[in-house]
Amino acid sequence: MRNRIFKFPAKAKTTVYLLTATGFAYQAVDSNFLSHSSDSLPISSHFPEKIRTGIDGVVRSFRAISTITFTVVDYKYSLHGLPVDSDEYRRKLSETHLRSAKRILKLCEANKGFYAKAGQFVAALRQAPKEYTSTLSSLQDQAVPCHFKAIKEVLVSNFGRDLSEIFLSFDEQPIAAASIAQVHHAVLKCHQEVAIKVQYPGLEQQMNVDTKTMSVLSKSIAWIFPEYRFEWLASEFAGATALELDFIQEARNSERTAKNLRDNKVIRVPHVFWELTTSQVLTMQFCGGHKVDDVDFMNQMGINPIKVVKALIEVFAEMIFVHGFVHGDPHPGNILISPEGQNGFSLVLLDHGIYKQLDEGFRQDYCQLWKALILLDSNKILHLGERFGVGKHARYFPLIFTGRTIDSKSALGGGMSEEEKRNIKQELKSLKMNDISMFMESLPPDFLMILRIDGLLRSVIRKLGVPQQVRMLAYAKYAVYGLSPKLDLESDFAVKVVFSRLLMNMNYLKLRLIIGVFEAILALQKFKDILCTLYIKINGTFWGIMLDPTGKGLNIT
């Protein structure tokens, strides 16, 4: 059955025309007036700072409105009249996804700052189409550093002293640059090596303009095309970004995490130098290392990637399931691997700007969800889906987190059978954009953050070539720990602490034993199938030779 003839909702026509006209007007203005002056500098750079910020905000907003308008119209006209269950529709949809992702990448590269961060945010969402995640992932390493003159002004303004009074040396070339700040290496007068994170000037005003523009655009799209609703994404991004602008809070997050993970001998959290830390400048201990997904470095140093992944996942599993205080941006640039440590390596956890304090009720439910996912307890999963507010769509939780269907017979981490793949593909065809929007809108904010974190961790695991089963078993282990009573190691009796830990380990071993039995049964079934196939072939060969000793007419399959 074909879609009804494409037609804009009556209430939306005027808005679309205005937005499209604005887009075309912006293209002309941007290319001929606002972008470049005779000396190749932006015209806005010749005005005082407040006026410059205002002009830049208008230009950035027009650029965003133009891009999003063209993108929405592209989707509507490209898919016009095509049956949603047809191969042609899926082909056109993929082409439009890719075209739109490239268009948005260009927007993020032009607007930089928070737009680049928004692109990174989308790239980390596993729920986004692969055309978007693969295209926008290039933004992770594209931040252009700010000129040191502007950075020095921020430092002197915040420290109240010249840099020569504080540092023996200060490297003007940044060792890292991101969308909101860059990091410099320096040596204090006491010969202590430090890393200094400096916020770009004028960011707060820029953030207000950019996040409001994103919010207005997402609301406008939802109003014009109700099936395309992204307000949840704009809201979640704005909330996460606002947290990053206060470096005092980031320093507090860092110290709290160091305290929570103090018993973990693999993880290192750099020490904060409070006397040189403000809301715009964060000074911390310098810790060297390579990105956690640097396979060549691990091979060179003889470090086992499986051990690295296990350590990494256990750190984040402890944050999520036990403490409920979670680092929200674990991309490879924020986690370094160093060859120093008791186990032949250590992990350095950086960038503590985005954290999520999980609601205690949510934390407990999420622990229960992972127990149910590991055991594939469909009734429990659906019950928890009601608590999470997604209703019947909870049946897709196993698919999202473990790669199995809710009624799967495959082993944990073993993927789906061909029959299961065909069935789920057919089932997913019936889902509409409105269903996906409703699912994402219904999820608690805590769940959205967890999805992003899990997506980033899974990409690291894939890069290192480690089976996803390592991640799932670590989650199962810490889900059991998270459901156990919390103890104060300093005030509770030693016997009580030992008994509680013994109980936790017994519960985990019980869960692991059940998983092992399931996997053993499946392995025996596969072994039985292999033996049957081998028997049939041998038997066929034997009777073939008996019936035709010459072998001329023999055709053994």
pLDDT tens sequence across 90-102: 899 889 999 999 9
Task: Using the predicted structure, report yes or no on whether residue 421 has a pLDDT greater than 90.
Answer: no
Highest mean pLDDT among 20-34, 78-92, 267-281: 267-281
Kindly report, residue by residue over 434-444, the tens digit of the pLDDT.
677 677 778 88
Residues 6+ apart with CB under 8 A from 442: 388, 389, 390, 391, 393
Task: Using the predicted structure, report yes or no on whether residue 272 has a pLDDT greater than 90.
Answer: yes
Mean per-residue pLDDT, 126-135: 81
pLDDT, residue 403, reads 85
Which residues on adjacent β-strands are paired with residue 335?
349
Task: Using the predicted structure, report yes or no on whether residue 542 has a pLDDT greater than 80.
Answer: no
Kindly report, residue by residue over 300-320, the tens digit of the pLDDT.
999 999 999 999 999 999 999
CA distance 503 to 146: 54
CA distance 95 to 555: 46
Distance of CA 11 to the CA centre of its chain: 36
Mean per-residue pLDDT, 129-147: 80
In which band, very low, low, confident or very high, does the pLDDT at 14 lie, cut at 50, 70 and 90? very low
Q: Which long-range contacts (CB under 8 A, 24 or more apart) does 72-79 make?
A: 72/221, 72/224, 72/225, 72/228, 73/16, 73/20, 74/99, 74/100, 75/100, 75/228, 76/6, 76/8, 76/225, 77/6
In order of 164, 198, 199, 203, 254, the CA distances from 183 in angstroms are 18, 6, 9, 16, 16
pLDDT, residue 309, reads 94
pLDDT, residue 496, reads 55
Which residues on adjacent β-strands are paired with residue 337?
290, 347
Task: Using the predicted structure, report yes or no on whether residue 523 has a pLDDT greater than 50.
Answer: yes
- Residue, of 1 and 409, whose pLDDT is higher: 409
Tokens encoding 289: 């290392």
CA distance 24 to 195: 45
Mean pLDDT lowest among 281-285, 401-405, 509-513: 509-513
Radius of gyration of the chain (CA): 28
Catalytic residue set: 329
Mean per-residue pLDDT, 192-213: 84
CA distance 269 to 256: 10
In terms of C-beta density within 10 A (0-12 exposed, 13-18 middle, 19 or more buried), how is residue 259 classed? exposed
Parallel, antiparallel or unpaired: strands 167-170 and 335-338: unpaired
CA distance 374 to 411: 10
Mean per-residue pLDDT, 77-101: 87
Tokens encoding 154: 């921020």
**Is residue 230 within a helix (H) or strand (E), and if so which, with residue range?**
none
User: How large is the greatest C-alpha to C-alpha distance in the chain, in angstroms?
Assistant: 99
pLDDT, residue 51, reads 60
Residues 6+ apart with CB under 8 A from 376: 398, 404, 406, 408
Tokens encoding 542: 């034997």
Count CB-CB contacts under 10 A for residue 26: 21
Kindly report, residue by residue over 53-73, the tens digit of the pLDDT.
567 767 878 888 888 888 888
Sign (positive or negative) of CA dihedral 495, 500, 504, 506: positive
Alpha-helix runs per DSSP H in 179-293:
203-224, 231-244, 247-260
Query: What's the pTM?
Result: 0.72
pLDDT, residue 251, reads 97
Give the mean pLDDT of the chain.
79
pLDDT, residue 25, reads 43
In which band, very low, low, confident or very high, does the pLDDT at 346 lie, cut at 50, 70 and 90? very high
DSSP 165: G
Closest alpha carbon to 328 in 461, 453, 238, 232: 453
- Percentage above 90 pLDDT, the chain: 35
DSSP 554: -
Task: Using the predicted structure, report yes or no on whether residue 48 has a pLDDT greater than 80.
Answer: no
Mean pLDDT lowest among 254-263, 345-354, 472-481: 472-481
Q: Contact at 8 Å (CB) between 274 and 263?
A: no
Task: Using the predicted structure, report yes or no on whether residue 30 has a pLDDT greater than 60.
Answer: no
pLDDT, residue 500, reads 57
Kindly report, residue by residue over 380-390, the tens digit of the pLDDT.
999 999 999 88
- Residue, of 407 and 379, whose pLDDT is higher: 379
Residues 539, 542, 547, CA angle at the centre, nearest 5°?
120
Tokens encoding 106: 């260009």
